[in-house]
Structure 1
Amino acid sequence: MKSAEEAPGLGRLKIGFVLARSFTLSAFALFVDTLRLASDETDRSGRILADWHVLASSRNLITSSCGVQVAPTSDFVDPGEFNYIVVVGGLLNNEFPVDSETVSYLKRAAAAKVPLIGICTGTFILAEAGLMKYHRTCVSWLHYQAFRERFPDHDVRSDRLFNLDRTRGSCAGGSSAADMAASIVRRHISREAERNALEVLQIERARSASDIQPHSPPFIECQDPRLKAALIIMENHIENTISIPKVAALVGLSRRQLERLFMEKTKSSPAIVYTRVRLERAKHLLMQTRAPMIEIAVEVGFENASHFSRLFRQTYGQPPTKFRSAVSG
């Protein structure tokens, strides 16, 4: 690490944060703490190799989704002062997560070719402003359907942790915010700075943009990243089902390789597991809604209620009508 005396000659990594109303505190804290620990030796917290500000249209406190408030540290200064501007989102039920002045600032930053990054649902804010249309967006599996519905013409995936190209970045949120921040530190400061930050944060290694989000259906225990990615893709295509060869292509395998992988890890074919994924969604809908059987059947990718009912009974030992009656009391 460079000493404080050597720092004035260096171009510091500078990042501006835009926090949405009801933003996710953990994602912001992990990202900014990775910068803090990379900027100085051990845990001294000097802003030597990196600097950061929380930008806002006013100095009013910004309340996170857990209720903790953060004070902005800067007005909307020239976006060209920053290497990146990071938008941290949070709860999707907030109709206006940022004000119009903030949206204008983000558009000004994009026009100045300052890279913009959406963390957690910050990607929704950037997409709503028309700033993600020509870039692949990475979102949490939890928010994939909502993003697809709101922005159907955008390229989005939910099997990876983050994505970063020359002018845009996106991150699923949670602990992957530290992974993305570490990749930026490595790129702009050094591997040594990255290692210092991760060691103090008790993170053994930073995951890469190609790592898979840690999620799989509850009825399958799996560690293989290709299998996890395939399962996430299946979960994201419940109503509008896709072919098994397409699933294989999206995870970088041939159909035969994918079938061998599933047989080895799950003792079932991809098609059988895909059907089970859809039926698990149907179980949830039966428990949580009063929708007619035909609506549930269509929503989980079946053309008619009789086919759906037959497969449901084969899988769970009772027809969906009886299952609904049992769980509803």
Structure 2
Amino acid sequence: METFQSPLKQQNIGFRQSASVSGQARVVRVAFVLLEHFSLTTLSTAMDALATGNLINAETLYMVSTWSLKGGQVESDVGVSVSSQRLVAEGFNQDALIVIGGQRVRLAPQPLLRRVLKRTAGKGIVAGCWNAAFHLADAGLLGAEEFACHRDSYGLISEYFPQLKASSREFIVAQRRATCANAHAALDMTLAIMQELGSHNDAALLDEIKRVHQPAQGKPVGAADSVRPAAIPKPLNVAIDLMENNIEEPMEIDAIASHVGVSRRQLERRFARYLNAAPNRYYLELRLTRARQLIVQSDRSMTDVALATGFVSYPHFYKRFKDLFGLPPMTFRDYHYASDSASSGRYAVAATY
């Protein structure tokens, strides 16, 4: 079976892994404890990273649940409420517990949360977002380690725990304890937790999740833009731009070489040196990357997808897509978005809201 040769594999490797339907995914249970007036952006950032991980990785399934001290609806900092289960000390069994604080959250010791944090810390990861490091400190889980929290909370936390030192870093993950200072840092913190619990040695997968959530700034939108080497010759950049702008009606490689002012042989050498693939191979992988995006993100027919990505023959498109992604196009779509009970669990974050 073929595989991606060019740097485009960074965008597609997770989807190819998910096409491997043999075996069972490892289930990782992640619980979010919502404090009253919690930061909704922080929660959604962390949960979306886990949901993206489920979408593009078949090896680990993150099962997410939301909890609170009283249960029921918990109001966020923007007035949107999220439903939750009532937190209990007995029978609470999670691989990771992330407490979501916020700018409007009032801090005070909570004996029940303290017990649950201690119990979870015995075998899993505990984390606090925004000002929720307070509760990790209250449970005695920070020790002498530095912690991250929003700067507006430094004063209050230091009043309760003068022996602890707040860090200027936005997030810290060490010794199965994690803290972050704001919603932006929640992504990096969550990715670190995912690597610890579910995606060991899979830097490509985590980089892809981060790319999805933090696209490059100040650059034109393009399917291959984020995977181009930092310094490549201008003719090669122009050639890639031509390919990206001519997906539906692919250009001949000779025409591309002529347009950028080099010979075909020179263009082939530069593609091999900087992109590890011949120009026609890179072009094919670029078109199939676009096809994967259309299959997952739209309900267009497979024939339309084939035509939109420059394949005049559906059987040819079928074969090449299956070669690189491991499943036929329609099966690939069904596998990602099936709503029946047999297939929806792998890609759905199991939440209570």
Which category of TM-score, normalised to the shorter sequence, fits these structures?
A: 0.5 to 0.7
Equivalent residue, structure 1, for 2:73: 61
Residue 136 of structure 1 deviates from its aligned partner by: 2.0
Question: Is the deviation greater in 121-130 or in 2-11?
Answer: 2-11
Q: Quick one: which of 32, 37, 41 aligns to 1:22?
A: 37
Q: Which residue of 2 aligns with 1:170?
A: 179
Question: Shift of residue 119 of structure 1?
Answer: 0.8
| Counterpart code for 2:31 | G
2:159 is equivalent to residue 149 of structure 1 = yes
1:179 — aligned with what? 188
Contact 2:25-2:59 within 8 A present in 1 as well? no
Structure 1 letter corresponding to 2:170: L
1:233 alignment partner in structure 2: none
Hey, what does 2:280 align to over in structure 1? Answer: none
Q: Is 1:6 paired with 2:21?
A: yes
Structure with higher RCO (Cα < 8 A, 6+ apart): 2
SS at structure 2 position matched to 1:21: coil
Q: Is the 8 A contact 1:133 1:153 kept in 2?
A: no
SS at match of 1:71: strand
Shift of 1:123: 0.4
- After superposition, the C-alpha distances for 1:153-176 in whole angstroms (9 at most, x for unaligned) are 11321x211111123111112201
Superposition deviation, residue 13 in structure 1: 3.3
SS of the residue 2:183 aligns to: coil
Check the 8 A contact 1:92/1:121 in 2, yes or no.
Answer: no
Match of 1:101 among 106, 112, 116: 112
8 A contact 2:173–2:192 mirrored in 1: no
3-state SS, counterpart of residue 130 of structure 1: coil
Indicate the residue corresponding to 2:50 in structure 1. Answer: 35
Instruction: Name the amino acid aligned to 1:106.
Output: L
Q: 1:95 to 1:184 in 2, by over 3 A?
A: closer
Q: With structure 2 as the length reference, what TM-score do the two structures score?
A: 0.49
Q: 1:92 to 1:67 in 2, by over 3 A?
A: closer
Change (3 A) 1:99 1:121: same
> Bigger radius of gyration, 1 or 2?
2
| CA shift in 2, pair 1:95/1:13, >3 Å | closer
How large is the Cα RMSD of the aligned pairs? 3.0
The AA in structure 2 aligned to 1:81 is Q
For 2:112, what is the secondary structure of its paired residue?
helix
* SS class of match (2:84): coil
Q: 1:143 to 1:38 in 2, by over 3 A?
A: same
**Deviations 1:12-38 (Å, cap 9, x if unpaired)?**
333111111111111111111111111
Q: Unaligned 5+ residue runs, structure 1?
A: 206-329
Amino acid of the structure 1 residue aligned with 2:132: G
TM-superposition CA deviations, 1:101-156 (whole Å, max 9, x none): 3332222223x232211111110122233332333212233332332233111132
Q: Distance in 1 between matches of 2:22 and 2:170?
A: 32
Q: Residue type matched to 1:156 in 2? A: A
Aligned length: 198
| TM-score after normalising by structure 1 | 0.52
* CA deviations over 1:298-319 (Å, ceiling 9, x no partner): xxxxxxxxxxxxxxxxxxxxxx
Paired residues of 1:88 and 1:122 also in contact (CA < 8 A) = yes
Correspondences of 1:41-56 after superposition (within 5 Å): 41=56, 49-56=61-68
Q: Which amino acid in 1 is paired with 2:127?
A: I
Q: 1:7 to 1:185 in 2, by over 3 A?
A: farther
Q: Secondary structure at the match of 2:99?
A: strand
Secondary structure at the counterpart of residue 33 of structure 2:
strand
**Aligned equivalent of 1:133:** 143
Structure 2 counterpart of 1:121, from 123, 131, 146: 131
Residues 31 and 98 in structure 2, CA contact (< 8 A), matched pair in contact too: yes
Deviations 1:255-311 (A, max 9, x none): xxxxxxxxxxxxxxxxxxxxxxxxxxxxxxxxxxxxxxxxxxxxxxxxxxxxxxxxx
Q: 1:36 to 1:136 in 2, by over 3 A?
A: same
Give the match for residue 243 of structure 1. none
